[in-house]
């Protein structure tokens, strides 16, 4: 094992970032081929939401199972990452052979989401095993890679790429497999990897007995109430508030608005070295909450450049606090339950996104668009109330 007093080898962080991006690309592979799957499965427009929701629900189920069994704390996290990346890549590629069966496709997408529970949270655990004082910076790069993966399908559509959908799925599966293998070969267990936990029924809830951990988790939950809902409805906001934009322009700008979150993640990671993760998360959550409120005005103004500038800034701050919340969760959790704690918090956070997205979709049928997104400020407000007790803590 490496000497914890020495800096990690230079290859560790780039390998982690690439492998995390490669593995989590499975998450959004379905988004890039939704029109083709719709035609193959002869789906009605409303049924498309099933394909997107299947991955989210599978991921929630996977995180709950992984947390219940404490898998990330009982076996080597790099081995778990490898296995889940390879199996997830297989499940993603199998869609090619069942593209004429809606139930089979939904099952495979849900299985892919389930296996991503061994990629996204486990990747953060591996980062935590290598970085202690620079954890916020390291996770900033990891989440930044995830944000770019989220935005990438919009760029493909915006540029008008016409690759056959089968090649897209196979390429993503190959990429995920390579990422899993590279991480296993190039990133050994880190010097801060704690002794694994034994299986106990109460492992999932034990971390929540710690006051600082609860504060970090509640801040993250408030952040998640806003994040994925904004991402999900960014194309709708653009199309409605700037009707002069073409469909291609909407996708193109949606890519940059969502991808801007990578700037917030990486920039926030560097700031955390000076301010601490708690203060960086607090400031970015405050700014994104203010954007929710300001949207009432900006979304009514007929000024496309103002709209795009505002949404780009919102895109930066709405995602920029995410890695700092993950760092805070890792730092405040019991040392022997870091993987389980990260996994259960992520599971609850993604469950919150499903509720927020569904509620927002319903409200959009009842209220003008400019008033709906102001209600997202509820999440940041509650998150700030929880997070304030961590601001100023020297180690956070």
> Which of 88-97, 163-172, 179-188, 271-280 has the lowest average pLDDT?
163-172
Question: What is the rounded CA–CA span in Å between residue 266 and residue 243?
Answer: 33
In the chain, where the domains are located: 12-189+204-387
Band (47; pLDDT cuts 50, 70, 90): low
pLDDT (average), residues 168-190: 90
pLDDT of residue 34: 67
pTM, two decimal places: 0.79
Question: What tens digit of pLDDT does each residue of 229-243 get?
Answer: 898 888 889 988 888
Alpha helices in the chain (DSSP H): 12-24, 29-32, 34-41, 48-69, 71-74, 77-93, 102-115, 120-130, 135-159, 165-186, 203-206, 211-241, 247-259, 261-275, 277-298, 304-320, 322-332, 338-363, 369-372, 378-387
pLDDT (average), residues 88-111: 90
Residue whose token pair is 């959004």: 28
* CATH code, residues 12-189+204-387: 1.20.1250.20
């Amino acid at each position: 094992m490496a000497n914890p007093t020495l800096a990690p080898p230079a290859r560790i962080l780039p390998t982690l970032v690439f492998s995390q991006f490669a593995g989590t690309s499975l998450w959004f592979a379905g988004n890039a081929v939704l029109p083709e799957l719709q035609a193959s499965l002869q789906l009605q427009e409303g049924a498309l939401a099933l394909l997107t929701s299947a991955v989210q629900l599978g991921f929630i189920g996977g995180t709950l199972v992984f947390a219940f069994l404490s898998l990330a704390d009982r076996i080597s996290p790099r081995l778990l990452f490898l296995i889940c990346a390879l199996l997830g890549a297989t499940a993603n590629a199998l869609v090619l052979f069942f593209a004429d069966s809606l139930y089979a496709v939904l099952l495979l997408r849900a299985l892919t989401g389930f296996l991503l529970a061994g990629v996204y949270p486990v990747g953060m655990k591996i980062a935590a095993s290598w970085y202690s004082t620079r954890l916020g910076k390291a996770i900033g790069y990891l989440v930044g890679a995830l944000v770019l993966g989220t935005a990438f399908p919009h760029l493909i559509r915006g540029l008008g790429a016409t690759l056959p959908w089968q090649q897209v799925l196979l390429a993503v599966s190959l990429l995920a497999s390579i990422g899993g293998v590279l991480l296993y070969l190039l990133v050994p267990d880190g010097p801060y990897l704690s002794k694994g936990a034994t299986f106990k029924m109460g492992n999932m809830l034990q971390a929540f007995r710690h006051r600082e951990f609860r504060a970090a988790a509640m801040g993250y939950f408030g952040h998640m109430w806003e994040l994925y809902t904004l991402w999900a409805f960014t194309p709708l906001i653009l199309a409605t508030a700037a009707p002069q934009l073409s469909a291609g322009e909407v996708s193109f700008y949606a890519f940059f608005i969502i991808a801007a979150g990578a700037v917030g993640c990486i920039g926030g990671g560097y700031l955390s070295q000076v301010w601490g993760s708690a203060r960086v998360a607090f400031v970015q959550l405050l700014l994104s909450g203010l954007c929710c409120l300001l949207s009432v005005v900006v979304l009514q103004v007929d000024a496309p450049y103002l709209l795009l500038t505002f949404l780009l800034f919102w895109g930066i701050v709405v995602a920029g606090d995410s890695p700092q919340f993950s760092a805070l969760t890792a730092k405040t959790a019991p040392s022997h339950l870091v993987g389980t704690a990260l996994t259960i918090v992520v599971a609850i956070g993604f469950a919150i996104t499903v509720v927020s997205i569904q509620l927002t979709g319903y409200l959009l049928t009842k209220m003008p668009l400019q008033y709906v997104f102001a209600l997202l400020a509820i999440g940041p407000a509650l998150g700030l109330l929880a997070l304030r007790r961590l601001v100023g803590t020297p180690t956070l």
